[in-house]
Amino acid sequence: MNLPRYARVLLAIGSGVALGLSFPNYNLYLLAWIAMGMLVLASAGAPLKEAPLYGFLHGQVFYPVCLPWVDTVMKQYGNIDPWIAAGFVGLIGFIGGLICTIFSTGVALASKKSKLLACLLAPFLWTALEYFRTNIPIIGSSWDLSGYPAARSMALLQITSVTGIYGLCLLIAAYGSLLAYAILASNRRLWIRAGVVTLVLIAVSIGGAYLVPQATPHYVAHLVQTNFPQSESYPSDWLQVHAGELDQLEHISVDAAHRVPGIVIWPEVPAPFSFEEALFAQRAQRIAINSGNYFLVGVVDWKKDPGGKWLASNSAVLLNPEGQRVYVYDKIHLLPFGEYVPLRGWLTFAKRLTADISDFTPGTQYTVGQLPQGKFGTFICYEAIFPSEVRRFTAAGAQLLITISNDGWFGRSSAAEQHMAMARVRAVENRRWLLRDTNNGYTESIDPYGRTAAQYPLDIRGQLDAPYDFRSDMTPYARFGDWFSWLCVIVTIAILFLALKPRAPEPALQAAKPVR
């Protein structure tokens, strides 16, 4: 099957659109299952000099379709000119497109040996590249990996406890490759097998959900949704001006803990909260003491380096019922161009992104905290999208996961729902209860199997009685980390070796000797 160039271009663009539409807010998640097949069709059999184009087109289309909110956030909160914001989104697509050129080139190269080899390579190469783009220094991101649409299935979601999200990336790509091979081979038997696989996936997705165990919680946390409007800057008298709202939040927190004893949690710092500010420190201690419970709150924490210079960190601080600080976690994986400017000396235009907020210093330790009933780990906002980083808390002994976030920066764009969906997978990968507290939504409790146990309405100030429990068992993913991703890397190298290995010359036929 030799497709013309225009058909390959349309398939590559269509694959990017289809994959992008499978994420929130579009939620056409079934499109993800055919998206990769379209890109395999575009790449298999393509001339090697053209093949990179098809992967590049896929990435250049996918990221702007999936991440349109980046442009809005930069213009609204970064004081960035519209053309620079649009260019930044284009840059994300450009970098993503470059990564995808490796995929389309690899598939085209393998197809020179055989179409079957190309379609065998595709899912392993794609998964290896998803892992690679997660771990690129500085700019690496696992936002909206291709496996997340498959996580909409409660049954398929459980695979991540063994493989991490990358197992679903492979599943999505493998199914698309099967469809692509059925088209390329034009074989009736292959279509029958593809139909059987489709029916099995449907049966597992629907019926398998009934086999997923139920988790029984024994404790309640009070997740306070502060619902402060997002601001680019905060005047020095902000705490005094908003004293009435803070009084309301204090009343909500203390009353909830009196009604049902349990830890009180506030989200990632949504305002100028710092224990260096006496008014806030006194209020935080009062909440802990008057509630008679532990109080976890997001703050800007200030520390001096060995040279005496003050450094700010985006932190979570736990106060005990006596109002004493007993736990601090400093966010390790900061958001590039949001919480710090990488390569600041080179990217001078990007300084405007952090002009109105602190240039944070990253933490260095995946600190685990202690509650009377068990241990917990806290990760902050952007860190929820990185599987290998969240599992470090579990590996360090955390029996409960807590994530605090300020998704007010996203408004009501698709970003908030995408962020929530990724955090949900972290609960299953680690088989832990996950308490997610945000400034304006989605504030919720997620059980170890990915079910939403309780959720608070969006954009409303109040608190959620969030059920949870502690667990000590270790999933294969929590114990061994990204073993599956590295397996995909090894298989990719092996298949590429077979593709590049020259064919053995056929033995020459010798003339038969005459019988004397």
Domain co-membership, 128 together with 156: yes
pLDDT, position 78: 61
- Tell me how far apart the alpha carbons of residues 173 and 122 are, in angstroms, rounded to a whole number: 7
pLDDT, position 357: 43
pLDDT over threshold 90, residue 178: yes
pLDDT over threshold 70, residue 45: yes
- 502 pLDDT band, cuts 50/70/90, is confident
Do 240 and 277 touch, CB atoms closer than 8 A? no
pLDDT, position 138: 74
Q: What is the sign, positive or negative, of the torsion defined by CA atoms of 443, 449, 450, 452?
A: negative
**411 assigned to some structural domain:** yes
**Polymer length of the chain:** 516
Domain co-membership, 356 together with 493: no
Q: What H or E segment, with its residue span, contains residue 103? A: helix 82-113
Domain co-membership, 52 together with 177: yes
- Tell me how far apart the alpha carbons of residues 25 and 421 are, in angstroms, rounded to a whole number: 11
Which of these, 408, 315, 406, 415, lies nearest to 369 by C-alpha position?
315
**277 assigned to some structural domain:** yes
Do 492 and 110 touch, CB atoms closer than 8 A? no
Q: Can you tell me the mean pLDDT for 195-203?
A: 96
**270 assigned to some structural domain:** yes
Residue 373: CB atoms within 10 A of its CB come to 14
- 410 pLDDT band, cuts 50/70/90, is confident
Phi, psi torsion values for 318, nearest 5 degrees = -110, 125
pLDDT, position 354: 43
Domain co-membership, 234 together with 208: no
- Tell me how far apart the alpha carbons of residues 289 and 286 are, in angstroms, rounded to a whole number: 5
Q: Can you tell me the mean pLDDT for 238-250?
A: 95
pLDDT over threshold 70, residue 220: yes
Domain co-membership, 159 together with 32: yes
**514 assigned to some structural domain:** no
Do 354 and 338 touch, CB atoms closer than 8 A? yes
- Give the number of domains in the chain: 2
Q: Can you tell me the mean pLDDT for 204-212?
A: 94
Q: Which of 56-60, 412-416, 480-484 bottoms out in mean pLDDT, i.e. has the lowest? A: 412-416
Q: Can you tell me the mean pLDDT for 158-173?
A: 98
Domain co-membership, 272 together with 353: yes
pLDDT over threshold 90, residue 243: yes
Between residues 81 and 155, which one has the greater pLDDT?
A: 155
DSSP assignments along 1-36, one per residue:
----HHHHHHHHHHHHHHHHHTSTTT--GGGHHHHH
Which of these, 15, 11, 333, lies nearest to 146 by C-alpha position?
15
CA distances from 483 to 102, 312, 476, 488 (A): 22, 35, 9, 9
Which of these, 139, 165, 94, 56, lies nearest to 426 by C-alpha position?
165
**509 assigned to some structural domain:** no
pLDDT, position 84: 74
pLDDT over threshold 60, residue 196: yes
Residue whose token pair is 């009343």: 251
- Tell me how far apart the alpha carbons of residues 483 and 489 are, in angstroms, rounded to a whole number: 10
What is the longest distance spanned by two Cα atoms in the chain? Answer: 116
- Is the peptide bond prior to 442 cis by the omega test (within 30 degrees of 0)? yes
Q: Can you tell me the mean pLDDT for 453-482?
A: 97
Q: What is the CA radius of gyration of the chain?
A: 26
Between residues 437 and 336, which one has the greater pLDDT?
A: 437
Domain co-membership, 20 together with 112: yes
Between residues 142 and 516, which one has the greater pLDDT?
A: 142
**20 assigned to some structural domain:** yes
- Tell me how far apart the alpha carbons of residues 415 and 220 are, in angstroms, rounded to a whole number: 28
Residue 287: CB atoms within 10 A of its CB come to 24
Domain co-membership, 362 together with 285: yes
Note the pTM of the prediction, 2 decimals: 0.91
Domain co-membership, 408 together with 291: yes
> Pairing between strand 452-455 and 444-446?
antiparallel
Domain co-membership, 103 together with 202: yes
Do 399 and 373 touch, CB atoms closer than 8 A? no
pLDDT, position 469: 98
Q: Can you tell me the mean pLDDT for 233-237?
A: 82
pLDDT, position 71: 77
Q: Which residues of 45-81 are buried (b: 16+ CB within 10 A; e: fewer)?
A: bbeeebbbbbbbbbbbbbbbbbbebbbbbbeebbebe
Instruction: Please state, for a pLDDT cut of 70, what percent of the chain lies above it.
Output: 93
- Tell me how far apart the alpha carbons of residues 218 and 447 are, in angstroms, rounded to a whole number: 12
**512 assigned to some structural domain:** no
Domain co-membership, 452 together with 491: no
pLDDT digits (tens, 9 = 90+) for 424-436: 999 999 999 999 9
Do 100 and 92 touch, CB atoms closer than 8 A? no
**474 assigned to some structural domain:** no
- 233 pLDDT band, cuts 50/70/90, is confident
Provide the domain limits for residue 191.
5-212+482-500
pLDDT, position 271: 86
Do 13 and 41 touch, CB atoms closer than 8 A? no
Domain co-membership, 392 together with 493: no
CATH number of the CATH domain containing 229: 3.60.110.10
pLDDT over threshold 50, residue 177: yes
- 151 pLDDT band, cuts 50/70/90, is very high
